[in-house]
Amino acid sequence: MTARSFATHSKLVGGGGSIAWGRPRRSAFPSRSGWPVLWKLVGLVAGLCTGVATAAARPLDQAIPGLFGGTLITTPQQGVPNAVIKQSQQLRFASQFNSLSSELSAAHAQSPIPSASGAFRFAWDPELDTFVRASEDLGSGVAERASTLGRHTGTLSFSYTHIDFSTLEGTPLNDLTFSQPAYSPNLQPLLGNNVISSHLNMGLSFDTFFFMGAYGITDSIDVSLALSVTEAHMHATVVSQIQTQNGQPGMNFFLEKNNVLVASSGKICGYNPNIPNQQLDVRCATDRFDSSVLGTGDVFLRGKWHFYDTQYADFAVAGVLTIPTGNADNFLGFNDFTFTPWLIASKDFGRVSPHINLGYAFRSGVDVSQAEWSDFLGYHDDKRDGINDDIFQSAVGFKVNPFDKVVIGGEFQFPLNRDGIRADVIYSGQIEYTY
């Protein structure tokens, strides 16, 4: 038996960003996480409209590899600016963050996007022997149901998501440590096996606004489009020290002249140009950055077909094409086109409406292909590099229908494991209008 009519559902996946404006800062930057959402939106729109902000000095994915200008120079001779024996070192965590950029884009793309809610639907009631008009529940904020909007029905929605990443593979982002030999193996017999021990305190957050429109072409086919505007904020402070294997001060030094580090950026720890002849420990070097970028994101086009109903489950398939209009170098979008087919199953059983979404994001080798699912939320990388390989999230949320055609909702996502780069909580809010 099939009974199909108006339904109410549609969701777009989001992420990304393109035209990028940035505000590189190398000084303390007051946290803006406390800004009300409205002020954030005003700031984002103003930035986009006026174009006052300038382009970032370098893309965000190069910010951490670019600490110390990309390299530190170690030498056994203190205070000799042009030491004969020296070795240029690229900090190893730089390469780790190079490989993290595509995973960051993928992680950002997990932010929930508006899920269209509907008003009512008709279903055949065998007991009453007639069709019955029923108000549709407002649905999940982060997953799809099989039902569609219905012919000539549309929704416009707007949502805000805040992601403040807090851990990397389970380690707090503000307490990352890395260690590497101070010299290459061929120099170690001569200069010893001191190590460069680095402590990295970093932060990365996204404030994303999604704009989405969905329309029912037929009773069972929806199309929709979504785009986003995102502000990404990243900061980091690194302190690198030359130590023995036991953690004692090493016998080697960073190359410096008059306590000034010989590097494209950074300084000897504690160096202050206003205090002349200050004696400092030249086995310690530090650098930092604080940058934000503002940009539009990738464009998401989606089609959904509600094709089959049974007593226990209704089925739909959906396809999402992601057009890479975002700036991947700033974690605002993917590098290449993505196509994600979805299989959606759901059913209303009184006040309970279980649903499951299974999808696979086909991406280029530069990006990360993923199997994705909900509920609960998660994805699984095909790039088995030990970073972001298996992501499991849970979500709670609410939706209310304060006016006839307006739905307001909020969702909170929590990590169920600590793989990859993760936020303790992902906050989202949305408002939707059905016409």
Partner 1 sequence: MTGPHPCRSAGARVVAAVVALTLLSRVGYGHAQLLNPPAPVSQVLEEYRVALENKDLDHLVALYVAFSARQRQALHEYLENAAGLTVELADVTVAPLGDAVAVTYTRRDHFVDRESGKPQHLEVRLTKILVPDGEGWKITDGL
Residues that bind partner 1 (CB under 8 A): 1-6, 119-120, 122, 124-126, 128-133, 150-153, 219, 307-308, 315, 317, 341, 343, 358-360, 362, 369, 371, 382
Which DSSP string corresponds to 281-315? -TTEEEEEEEEEEEEE--EEEEEEEEEEE-SS-EE
- Establish how many alpha carbons lie within 13 A of residue 273's alpha carbon, considering only the half-sphere containing its beta carbon: 4
Nearer to partner 1, 46 or 132 (CB): 132
Which whole-number Å values give the CA distances from 273 to 72, 78, 260, in the listed order? Answer: 20, 19, 9
Q: How far is the CB of 269 from partner 1 (least distance, A)?
A: 46
Q: CA 235 to CA 112: how far, in whole Å?
A: 24
Q: How far is the CB of 315 from partner 1 (least distance, A)?
A: 6
Q: How far is the CB of 105 from partner 1 (least distance, A)?
A: 17
Pairing mode of beta strands 338-346, 314-323: antiparallel
Q: How far is the CB of 11 from partner 1 (least distance, A)?
A: 18
Nearer to partner 1, 19 or 217 (CB): 217
Q: How far is the CB of 212 from partner 1 (least distance, A)?
A: 21
Environment class of 137 (CB within 10 Å of its CB; exposed 0-12, middle 13-18, buried 19+): middle
Q: How far is the CB of 127 from partner 1 (least distance, A)?
A: 8
Q: How far is the CB of 380 from partner 1 (least distance, A)?
A: 9
Q: CA 422 to CA 419: how far, in whole Å?
A: 7
* DSSP-assigned letter for residue 67: G
Nearer to partner 1, 121 or 267 (CB): 121
Nearer to partner 1, 6 or 331 (CB): 6
Nearer to partner 1, 153 or 252 (CB): 153
Structure tokens at 345: 């199953």
Q: Is the bond into 375 cis (omega within 30 degrees of 0)?
A: yes
Nearer to partner 1, 131 or 398 (CB): 131
Structure tokens at 392: 């499991």
Nearer to partner 1, 32 or 380 (CB): 380
Cβ count within 10 A of residue 90:
13
Q: How far is the CB of 120 from partner 1 (least distance, A)?
A: 7
For residue 142, give the nearest of 369, 355, 338, 381 by alpha carbon.
355
Nearer to partner 1, 412 or 433 (CB): 433
Nearer to partner 1, 94 or 119 (CB): 119
Q: What percent of the residues of the chain are helix, what percent strand, and what percent coil, each to the nearest 5?
A: 10, 50, 40
Q: How far is the CB of 128 from partner 1 (least distance, A)?
A: 4
Q: How far is the CB of 360 from partner 1 (least distance, A)?
A: 5
Nearer to partner 1, 80 or 123 (CB): 123
Cβ–Cβ < 8 Å for 375, 113: no
For residue 251, give the nearest of 182, 180, 177 by alpha carbon.
182
Environment class of 175 (CB within 10 Å of its CB; exposed 0-12, middle 13-18, buried 19+): exposed
Cα torsion for 330, 335, 341, 347, to the nearest 10°?
A: 0
